[in-house]
């Protein structure tokens, strides 16, 4: 009886151990199955299409538009370039921003012969420099108007042109055949007739400005009075700018006439070309005149000049911000 009871007890123990082993195996199998479930699910998922990938990707940030300065022969048409150019900030005392904005100086020639057009120009906000002829009917009145508007003005001094004969001295103040003393005396007298001038530029003068013998004594007068010089460049052989630099006279050169045409549309087209040249060079001085079509163009320009990709400056400002017209190195 005791032996039978012992065998039954041993069988129960083996059954319990066996059951525990089965439970352990089952638990292990279940754990492995759970671990692989995510892996199997990923393998079962279909690959996303390119469109789905693009849709699920974050949208790229918009790129900032870069403004590229182009030469006069490349890039956008002038009208489109002016319309799309970033707006310039309001000027501070007429000086450009420190970001390298190109400079553009406009000299308006032939002042002193009339007042109607001059008063219209005086009403403009565009920084300009007036060049006033000596000994004309309204020379002093023009200078007084410029001073009242804080517009710098220079003496527009008649000089001999290639078409002028040496005997026609009434057409010019400085010309071939004059002695150095005569050049100095005539220059001094013309300057005295128009007090307050900041400097001088030549009226005509395609012959006189080719002569170093004439330009050297002329520059001596400007140096002694602390005045500046603008070479109108009526001839490609002019030595006036070189003589000014040699004498230590601050000087600029004309880089383009704006109004060789009396057609306002042609003037506007020429202006767009000169603006692109200013962008290319970094600084540009141009010349126009007190003429009906020119003044009408300037009045239209007055409404939009602050939105152009150049900063308008006067001749004194141009000299202060450049090395005789060449942009200063940063």
Which contiguous run of DSSP H or E holds residue 12? Answer: helix 2-44
> d(Cα 231, Cα 255) in Å, to the nearest integer?
9
> How many CB atoms within 10 Å of residue 30?
10
User: Tens digits of per-residue pLDDT, 82-98?
Assistant: 333 333 333 333 344 45
Q: Which contacts qualify for 173-176: CB closer than 8 Å, 24 or more apart?
A: 173/134, 174/205, 174/208, 174/214, 174/218, 175/207, 175/208, 175/214, 176/207, 176/208, 176/211, 176/214
DSSP state for residue 98 in the 8-state scheme:
T
User: Tens digits of per-residue pLDDT, 126-150?
Assistant: 999 999 999 999 999 999 999 999 9
Neighbouring residues of 217: CB distance < 8 A, sequence distance ≥ 6? 180, 181, 183, 184, 187
Helix 180-192 to helix 212-225 angle (10° resolution) is 40
Tokens found for residue 299: 């009045």
First-residue to last-residue Cα distance in the chain: 116
Over its length of 330 residues, how does the chain's per-residue pLDDT go in tens digits? 444 445 555 666 666 766 666 676 566 545 544 444 444 333 333 444 444 434 444 443 333 322 222 222 223 333 333 333 333 333 333 344 456 899 999 999 999 999 999 999 999 999 999 999 999 999 999 999 999 999 999 999 999 999 999 999 999 999 999 999 999 999 999 999 999 999 999 999 999 999 999 999 999 999 999 999 999 999 999 999 999 999 999 999 999 999 999 999 999 999 999 999 999 999 999 999 999 999 999 999 999 999 999 999 999 999 999 999 999 876
* Residue tagged 């170093």 (tokens): 212
Tokens found for residue 188: 């001094």
Count, residues in the chain: 330
The CA-based diameter of the chain, rounded to the nearest angstrom, is 164
Tokens found for residue 11: 């069988």
Question: Which pLDDT score, from 0 to 100, does residue 259 have?
Answer: 98
Q: Torsions phi, psi of 130, nearest 5?
A: -95, 140
Alpha carbon distances (Å) from 318 to 128, 143, 178, 198: 11, 21, 33, 13
> d(Cα 316, Cα 250) in Å, to the nearest integer?
9
Question: Which pLDDT score, from 0 to 100, does residue 25 have?
Answer: 57
Question: Which pLDDT score, from 0 to 100, does residue 132 have?
Answer: 99
Question: Which pLDDT score, from 0 to 100, does residue 11 have?
Answer: 63
Question: Which pLDDT score, from 0 to 100, does residue 100 have?
Answer: 86
Which contiguous run of DSSP H or E holds residue 327? Answer: strand 326-327
């Amino acid at each position: 009886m005791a032996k039978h009871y012992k065998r039954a007890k041993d069988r129960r123990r083996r059954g319990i151990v066996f059951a525990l082993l089965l439970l352990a195996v089952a638990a292990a199998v279940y754990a492995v199955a759970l671990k692989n479930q995510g892996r199997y699910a990923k393998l079962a998922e279909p690959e996303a299409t390119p469109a789905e990938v693009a849709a699920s990707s974050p949208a790229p940030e918009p790129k900032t538009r870069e403004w590229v300065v182009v030469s006069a022969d490349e890039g956008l048409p002038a009208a489109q370039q002016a319309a799309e150019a970033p707006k310039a900030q309001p000027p501070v005392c007429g000086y450009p921003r420190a970001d390298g904005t190109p400079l553009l100086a406009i000299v308006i020639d032939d002042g002193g012969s009339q007042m109607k057009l001059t008063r219209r120009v005086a009403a403009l906000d565009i920084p300009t420099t007036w060049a006033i002829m000596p000994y004309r009917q309204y020379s002093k009145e023009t200078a007084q108007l410029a001073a009242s508007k804080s517009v710098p003005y220079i003496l527009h001094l008649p000089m001999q042109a290639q078409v002028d004969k040496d005997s026609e001295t009434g057409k010019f103040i400085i010309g071939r055949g004059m002695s150095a003393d005569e050049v100095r005396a005539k220059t001094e007298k013309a300057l005295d007739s128009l007090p307050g001038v900041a400097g001088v530029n030549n009226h005509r003068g395609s012959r006189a400005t080719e002569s170093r013998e004439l330009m050297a004594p002329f520059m001596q007068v400007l140096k002694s009075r602390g005045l500046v010089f603008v070479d109108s460049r009526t001839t490609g052989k002019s030595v006036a700018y070189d003589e000014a630099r040699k004498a230590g006279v601050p000087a600029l050169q004309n880089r383009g006439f704006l109004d060789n045409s009396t057609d306002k549309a042609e003037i506007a087209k020429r202006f767009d070309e000169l603006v692109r040249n200013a962008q290319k060079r970094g600084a540009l001085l141009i010349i126009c005149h007190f003429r009906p079509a020119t003044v009408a163009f300037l009045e239209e320009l007055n409404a939009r000049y602050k939105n152009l990709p150049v900063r308008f400056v006067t001749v004194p400002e141009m000299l202060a911000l450049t090395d005789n017209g060449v942009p200063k190195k940063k």
